[in-house]
Structure 1
Amino acid sequence: MRICLITPRPDHPLLAATTALLTPRHEVDSIDPGAGHEAPTYPVSGDTLADVYLLKARTPRALALARSFEERGAPVVNSAAATGLCQDRTAMAELAGSAGLPFAGTRTVATLRQLAAETDLPYPLVVKSRYSRRQDLVARADDAAGLRRLCVEWSDEPVVVQPFTANSGWDHKLWVIAGQVFAALRRSELADPGSRGPTLPLVLADLPGGWLDLVRRVGSVFALDVYGVDVIDAGGGAPLIVDINAFPGIRGQAGAPEALAALALRTATGEGAVVPG
């Protein structure tokens, strides 16, 4: 089998470990979607398609490249459409809401400047860039002065705004590969960056009842095979989803490279994901 990684970083720990598992019997190569090409049309070795592509990039160029392979009949994990959906927080919230998932209430505003001009906002609130990307805006504003401070750098940024839900300050980072769940605890992005500290291990058995089923359902709703769900405990074990990511890093999780390698091979042979019962 030939497995191709769409990523600028094939040395990412998850991808490198997965490659090491596959290469004794299979060919693994990679394409950097941003490596100096003027258009998202790339040569493929021997002008043939790989048996499966793993899309570990979320830029417009990466999505265009993935779509080009899909149009030629190749399977891509995750699909370009599913990956792109997770980049638009407005679309994400709308789909989650329509599916009945417990997702944070979300309102879209054209620019942060326009939001800051509104009166009687329900502080505290959470403001995020509408379009998810590296080093985007994710912040808590406790009052109008806090919003104005954010405007110094982000005034023209399209944003979504969500009510702040009181919680422990810890995000439950739940990652899924073909239905297999991995978990950790990490200080919220809303915490002071200097106080976030390391990611802590989390035993699946310690999760509140129903959370595993909920996280797996997210994959079905969003048509994702490899994804992350950030969940906070909104009180009494009630889950509130605050973010969904396509193909996250899943660093340091025992069994994750094995699960990804198995998914790649099943997809390459047309078997698709096998969800644990």
Structure 2
Amino acid sequence: MMQGWVIYNGHLPSSKFLSYAEWIKEAATKKNIKINVVKNNAMLSMIDSQGSHLLKQAHEAQPDFVLFLDKDIALAKQLEQLGIPVFNSSKCIDICDNKITTYQHLAKHKLPIPKTIIAPKIFPGVKEIDTTSYLAIERELEYPMVVKEAYGSFGEQVYLIHSRQALFALIQALEDRPFVIQEYISSSYGRDIRLNVVGDQVVASMIRTAKNDFRANVAVGGTTEAYQPTEQEISLALAAAKAVEASFAGVDLLFGPNSQPIICEVNSNAHIQGTYQSTGINVADYMIDYIVRTLD
């Protein structure tokens, strides 16, 4: 019998992360695959002159695969060094965890993204930030513009900025946190598409809509319904997932001018319960089938 681990973060307060892991376990059980749901903090990584090891505690048998639902990149790398197939890979998680890195990979493949300016690195402890260097942004972008912190989920840490004064105030408030500044795609106000990619397929898709927010995320008040993507949208979602080397991805597309799709984000750990509620499609079934095919 094939055996796997589903790893999630044991210190996140929300139950939805454990719920996601249980969905995966249920899908695997239907395929006669034994799954242990494991907190990332239930296994400590150790490295020494003999190589890489795990202090596995209750989970002694090495699994055939790991489905990694966390952003503990060091642990994902440790598992890979032990020869365990990890989905998504540590490289993919690392790319998607940092929006700057994500956009760089998408740009490398010349995929459509909002025009994006990367903020210079600032070390902790700087008391006064030289905001005058940001004046050059106004030659490339118009107000309003979007500021996104490099690390953030569920539409949080994303800001719509309407003036130079507001931009400079936010830059000062962000201090040493990395971020990007992007053109605002006004044609997609409060709307986007989430496409769930598994391997070389888009297996489910929904449209998200918010009436009173430029972001469409459910966490900030958006609602969802099933959506039939165009061939162009499907092709772009697959290309985006490939660019970040994802086996599984939630690709968010914006409605650009003339309804041309633009990549907003690529999520390596996209939650799937909301997709099921909107579409009736259990993405977990496709994920398990993909792992079985890959390891067969």
Normalising by structure 1, we get a TM-score of 0.82
Aligned counterpart for 2:233 among listed residues 191, 211, 215: 211
Deviation at 1:84, TM superposition (A): 0.3
Deviation at 1:29, TM superposition (A): 0.7
Aligned residue in 1 for 2:36? 29
Deviation at 1:152, TM superposition (A): 6.3
Q: Per-residue displacement from partner, 1:170-191 (whole Å, max 9, x unpaired)? A: 0111121222331122247744
Task: Tell me: CA distance 1:164–1:135, structure 2 relative to 1, closer, same or farther (3 Å).
Answer: closer
Which one-letter code corresponds to 1:26 in the other structure? I
Distance in 1 separating the partners of 2:3 and 2:171: 48
2:77 matches 1:53: no
The correspondence of residues 152-191 of structure 1 with structure 2, limited to 5 A, is 153-169=173-189, 170-178=191-199, 179-187=201-209, 190-191=214-215
Aligned residue in 2 for 1:231? 253
Distance in 2 separating the partners of 1:251 and 1:199: 14
Which one-letter code corresponds to 2:22 in the other structure? A
Q: Secondary structure at 1:150's aligned position in 2?
A: helix
2:289 matches 1:262: yes
Task: Tell me: CA distance 1:11–1:107, structure 2 relative to 1, closer, same or farther (3 Å).
Answer: closer
Greater RCO, 1 or 2 (C-alpha within 8 Å, sep 6+): 1
Determine if contact 2:208/2:218 at 8 Å carries over to the other structure: no
Q: CA RMSD in A?
A: 3.0
Q: Per-residue displacement from partner, 1:223-266 (whole Å, max 9, x unpaired)? A: 11111111111122211111111021022322312112222333
Distance in 1 separating the partners of 2:256 and 2:154: 27
Aligned residue in 2 for 1:275? none
Deviation at 1:193, TM superposition (A): 8.7
Determine if contact 2:272/2:283 at 8 Å carries over to the other structure: yes
Aligned residue in 2 for 1:118? 134
Aligned counterpart for 2:225 among listed residues 201, 208, 216: 201
Determine if contact 1:139/1:190 at 8 Å carries over to the other structure: no
Task: Tell me: CA distance 1:92–1:13, structure 2 relative to 1, closer, same or farther (3 Å).
Answer: same
Task: Show structure 1 runs of 5+ residues with no match.
Answer: 272-277
Task: Tell me: CA distance 1:195–1:52, structure 2 relative to 1, closer, same or farther (3 Å).
Answer: closer
| Equivalences, count | 264
Determine if contact 1:171/1:185 at 8 Å carries over to the other structure: yes
Distance in 1 separating the partners of 2:95 and 2:80: 16
Distance in 2 separating the partners of 1:55 and 1:248: 11
Structure showing the higher helix proportion among its residues: 2
Determine if contact 2:43/2:57 at 8 Å carries over to the other structure: no
Distance in 1 separating the partners of 2:192 and 2:262: 10
Distance in 1 separating the partners of 2:217 and 2:132: 24
Aligned residue in 1 for 2:7? 6
Deviation at 1:47, TM superposition (A): 4.1
Which one-letter code corresponds to 1:220 in the other structure? K
Deviation at 1:219, TM superposition (A): 2.1
Stretch moving more, 76-85 or 135-144: 135-144
Aligned residue in 1 for 2:23? 17
Q: Per-residue displacement from partner, 1:125-184 (whole Å, max 9, x unpaired)? A: 111112345785211101023224434642332211111122132011112122233112
Distance in 2 separating the partners of 1:192 and 1:242: 11
Percent identical among aligned pairs is 19
Distance in 2 separating the partners of 1:195 and 1:12: 18
Task: Show structure 2 runs of 5+ residues with no match.
Answer: 11-15, 48-53, 123-128
Determine if contact 1:109/1:115 at 8 Å carries over to the other structure: no
